[in-house]
Amino acid sequence: MGENGAGKSTLANILSGSLAPTSGELILNGEAIRFSSTAEARDYGIDIVHQHFMLVPAFTVRENLLLFGADLNKARDLPLDAVVGELSVGEQQRVEIARALGSGGALVLFDEPTAVLTLEESDALLERLRQLRAEGRAVVLITHRVEEALAVADRITVLRAGEVVGSYGAGEATAEELERQIAGGQFDRPTRSSESGVAEDRLIVEDLFVLADRGHLAVNGVSFHVRAGEVLGIGGVDGNGQVELAEALVGIRPVESGSIRRSGRVAYIPPDRNRDGLALTMSVLDNLLIAGHRKPALRRAGLLLPWLARLWAEGIVRRFSVRPPYLDRPVVTLSGGNRQKVVVGRELDETPDVLIAVYPTRGLDVRSQADVHRSILDARAAGCAVVVVSADWDELNAISDRVFVLSRGQWREER
Amino acid sequence: MRRVLLLAAGLFLVLALTLWAFGLPVAESLRHLWEGSLAGKFAIHRTLVKASPLILAGLGMVVAWRAGMFNIGGEGQLLVGVAAGASLYHAVPDLQGPALTVLVLAACILSGAAWAGIAAFLHTKRGVNVVISTILLNFVAIQLISYLVRGPLQPPGSSIPQTAPLPESAMFLRLDPQSSLHTGVLLLPVLAFLVHLWLKLTPSGFRLRLVGQNPLAARSARVPVARTQVVALLVSGGLCGLAGGVEYVGVSGYLFDGFSPGWGFFAIPVALLGGLEAWGVLLSGLYFGALLAGSRNLEAFGGAPSALVFAVQGVAVLAFVAFQQLANRRRERADT
């Protein structure tokens, strides 16, 4: 366990052979080993399930599994003939796991596998980990979720800034103790203030039908409204029309029938910061300008002036504490949490009238999660109408005024 | 600045090595190249004239490639541009002077854009890969020119496959009758500046670059991706059409088979060596313009084959791309 940037992924990369250690040695079964490629690591029986999927998007599930020598018999429950790039993130994750598990190595490493899964899917995964343990395989699980580690691990090690700061046996640590170790001290969890009273409807959706990319109906007759100063949470198993609904609300996916009425400026935190939130090769400044280039305040005579843009961007980097605070670095050099701060900062710099946030804290550590939640709740307090899509029930409960579940594109109220 | 100097040194090295590989006396060949391209007023004029179509089409490549539209069809767009200019003159042969110049250039720009527009249409409506459609449209254009100069645009009674020459009054001005330098060269810095301004300092230029870097992020930001790509291709085609037009109105005055020695193809390495920057295209276009001007001298006096320029260009671009990769990898390593 550890924060974003604590060195967990670096460690995983060393174990899987994609990064060489500067010094020190690896001992596997009493034997000092050295390898210089992922193929060699696999030969030693080390399998890794990566945080970023190692799949070929243009291939089908079957082709991907065969490519990595996985056992197709163990993947019967997957849509073998579907093209991986067209699957939802959660489904892709399941393919990624099947890919890595299939070859049957002695050590399996999971790099934050549950970050994109729903609670139900996560439980199934943890069950799978216990099975692997029973089969006699060693399992290393990297996770942000304290409760997962407590539920499944025999030993828990906490990393901070690249060093081991604590190690516990099963039953030795409490959730509070772990959270404090991870964050390196106390920090405040944001809390939702009480209802902000009667306010106007900012987003009115009536009898909405939306198609998915593959042409099937993803949103199937949904109606709701969101008031100013209210957070509407949308949960449910990934791939049940949440992303399509959000995209329709933002206005980047055509509406099949029904109506959406929005008032004012709509801000958008897209589902996958690396895929559709950021241009990874561009600088931090340019990625902030993805929202900022529309601001009249940054223009003179129609020209986007660099010094005005920099001044504005520096303000965001400071207020949302993006680290390192360098505007000219490619955004790809930032950690996941800081990349998300770039997205959140540029969208919430001025309070929007409507905010659509999809998986806003996916893959973030507890502190970064709290930062994002605080920003969303600040927007709510300032009168923004917010829709949050998440697969994480704790998140939905913590920040939403109302929660709905989308199941096969249909609506169910939870609370 | 340091990078530009390094690049210049690298290009010089590449040139010398290529000469050596061709079995030519290096020092003497370099002297011929120098005399043909940069030694004295007339040589410099020649270089500027040769660089004009390269720079204009190169700017066109920058606009399209920055938007992620890998336009390989500069040659076709350039030729169709000139064909439209020549057709216009053929249709209204009584027109004279600057009015004709302006109309011809407008025809070149619009039809170059229209030719690129075919690829843009196929891309947005049918998902056809732009690289493939633009490459293939080149061959259509080359055959089209071949047909036009032997058929509809051939002056009656003439047996030479070329169009009727434009009247002198419609040609770009030449300040010195001895020199090939024409006023069309003034367009180069102006257009390079405009392209730079557009891509670097306007909101629409920013959106164009964003679409090129990550169309999905652009979509999330509610940038009309398809429209941006279409605009980039149209402007690119227009600049290529203008590249042909400037040669037509500035140098030859008529259209013939083999009108372009491959400027539209040359434009791609010009743009790449220029780092897909407008000012970079200005520099690399001048370099290759000088090489083209100098190589004619080398051919005449040094006995070098004309393919030399192509070889130098190929080697230079390969070396450049390889070094860029190397630099990227080193930077990545420094970051992790």
Domains of chain A in start order, with CATH, are 8-183 (3.40.50.300), 201-413 (3.40.50.300)
pTM of the model: 0.82
Residue A16 structure tokens: 């899987």
Rounded Cα–Cα distance for residues A100 and A332 (Å): 26
Which of B206, B209, B216 is nearest residue A275 as measured by Cβ atoms? Answer: B216
Start-to-end Cα distance in chain A: 32
Q: List A201's β-bridge partners, or say none.
A: A227
DSSP string, B144-176: HHHHHHHTTTSPTT--SSBPPPPPGGGSPPBS-
Are A239 and A328 in contact by the 8 Å Cβ rule? The answer is no
Asked if B203 and A294 come within 8 Å (Cβ–Cβ), the reply is yes
Classified as helix, coil or strand, A204 is: strand
Residues 274-293 of B with CB under 8 A from A: none
Residues of A within 8 A of B203 (CB-CB) are 293-294, 299, 302, 304
Residues from chain B contacting residue A302 (CB–CB below 8 Å): 202-203
Is B213 within 8 Å of A270 when comparing Cβ atoms? no
Cβ of B214 under 8 Å from any chain A Cβ?
yes
- A86: closest CA of chain B, how far (Å): 14
Which residues of chain B are within 8 Å of residue A313 when distances are taken between CB atoms? none
What is the torsional sign of CA A100, A102, A105, A106? Answer: positive
Burial A400-410 (b: 16+ CB within 10 A, else e): bbebbbbeebe
Quick check: B210 contacting A, CB < 8 Å?
A: yes
Instruction: Take residue B103 and report the two structure tokens written for it.
Output: 């109309």
* Tokens 């929202």 found at: A291
CB contact under 8 A, B220 and A252: yes
Q: State phi, psi for A167 to the nearest 5 degrees.
A: -145, 130
- The residue with tokens 């980990």 is A129
- Contacts of residue A262, Cβ cutoff 8 Å, sequence gap at least 6: A202, A203, A249, A251, A353, A354
B207 contact A CB<8A: yes
Q: What is the pLDDT of residue B334?
A: 55
CB contact (8 A) between residue B220 and residue A268: yes
Closest Cα in chain B to A273: B217
Q: Which of A247, A262, A294, A298 to mutate to probe the B interface, most B CBs <10 Å?
A: A294
Q: In whole angstroms, give the CA distance from residue A50 to residue A149.
A: 18
Residue A222: beta bridge partners? A208
To the nearest whole percent, how much of chain A has pLDDT over 70? 94
Interface test mutation site (partner A, options B214, B223, B324, max chain A beta carbons within 10 A): B214
Contact criterion met (CB below 8 Å) for A304 and A293: yes
Strand segments, DSSP code E, in A246-375 are 257-262, 266-269, 299-300, 303-304, 354-358
A316 Cβ contact list (under 8 Å, min separation 6): A288, A322, A345, A346, A349
Shortest Cα distance, chain B CAs vs residue A224, angstroms: 23
DSSP per position, B96-119: -HHHHHHHHHHHHHHHHHHHHHHH
**Cα dihedral A175→A176→A178→A184 (10° resolution):** 160
CA distance B277 to chain A (A): 15
Nearest to A282 among B213, B219, B336 (CB): B213
Nearest Cβ partner for B217 among A250, A276, A306: A276
Q: Between A and B, how many CB-CB pairs are < 8 A?
A: 60
A312 touches chain B (CB under 8 A): no
By the CB < 8 Å criterion, does A289 face chain B?
Answer: yes
Q: Are B28 and B19 in contact (CB under 8 A)?
A: no
CA distance A35 to chain B (A): 19
Are B217 and A19 within 8 A, CB to CB? no
CB-based contact, B4 to chain A, within 8 Å: no
Residues 21-60 of A with CB under 8 A from B: none
Q: Can you tell me the ipTM of this complex?
A: 0.89
Q: Give residue B336's pLDDT.
A: 45
Residue A308 sits at the chain B interface (C-beta within 8 Å): no
Q: Is B298 helix (H, G, I), strand (E, B) or coil?
A: helix
CATH fold group of domain B2-335: ABC transporter involved in vitamin B12 uptake, BtuC (1.10.3470)
CA B49, B53, B58, B63 dihedral sign is: positive
Instruction: State how far residue A413 is from chain B, nearest Cα, in angstroms.
Output: 28
A309, closest residue in chain B (CA to CA): B201
CA distance B214 to chain A (A): 5
CB A387 within 8 A of CB A411: no
According to DSSP, residue B251 is labeled: I
B331 and chain A in contact, CB less than 8 A = no
Task: With beta carbons under 8 A apart, name residues in chain B contacting A306.
Answer: 201
Could you read off the pLDDT tens digit of each residue along chain A, which spans 415 residues?
887 767 887 888 888 888 888 888 888 888 888 887 877 887 888 888 877 788 898 999 999 988 877 778 777 788 889 999 888 777 887 888 888 776 667 888 888 887 767 667 778 888 888 988 898 888 999 887 788 888 899 999 998 878 888 889 888 888 888 888 877 765 666 777 766 566 889 999 999 999 998 888 999 999 999 999 999 999 887 778 999 999 999 999 999 999 999 999 999 999 999 999 999 999 999 999 999 999 999 999 999 999 999 999 999 999 998 988 999 999 998 888 899 999 999 999 999 999 999 999 987 877 888 889 999 999 999 999 999 999 878 889 889 999 998 988 888 776 4
Confirm or reject contact between B333 and chain A (CB < 8 A): no
**Using CB atoms and an 8 Å cut-off, which of residues 324-353 of chain A contact chain B?**
333
Residue B105 CA, chain-centre distance (Å), reads 16
B203, A304: Cβ pair inside 8 Å? yes
Q: Do B220 and A282 touch (CB under 8 A)?
A: no
| pLDDT of chain B, 336 residues: tens digit per residue | 777 888 888 888 888 888 888 888 889 989 998 998 999 899 999 999 999 999 999 999 999 999 999 999 999 999 999 999 999 999 999 999 999 999 999 999 999 999 999 999 999 999 999 999 999 999 999 999 999 999 899 998 888 999 999 999 999 998 888 888 999 999 999 999 999 999 999 999 999 999 999 999 999 999 999 999 999 999 999 999 999 999 999 999 999 999 998 999 999 989 998 989 999 999 999 998 998 888 888 888 877 777 777 787 778 778 777 777 777 676 655 554
Q: What is the distance in angstroms between the Cα of B224 and the nearest Cα belonging to chain A? A: 9
pLDDT value for A94: 80
Closest residue by Cα to residue B14 from B321, B222, B313, B279: B313
Q: Per the structure block, which two tokens stand in for A59?
A: 């291939």
Residue at A294: amino acid letter? R
From the list B206, B214, B335, the residue facing A293 with the nearest CB is B206
Q: Is A19 close to B202, i.e. CB distance below 8 A?
A: no
With CA atoms as reference, report the closest residue to B167 among B219, B60, B114, B95. B95
CA distance B107 to B112: 8
Q: Which residue has the tokens 């409807």?
A: A201
Contact A304 B336 (CB under 8 A): no
Give B-chain residues touching A289 at CB under 8 angstroms.
206
Residue A154 has what pLDDT? 93
What is the rounded distance in angstroms from the CA atom of residue A175 to the CA atom of residue A154?
15
Q: Cα(B171)–Cα(B311) distance, rounded to whole angstroms? A: 33
A276 and B209 within 8 Å at the Cβ level: the answer is no
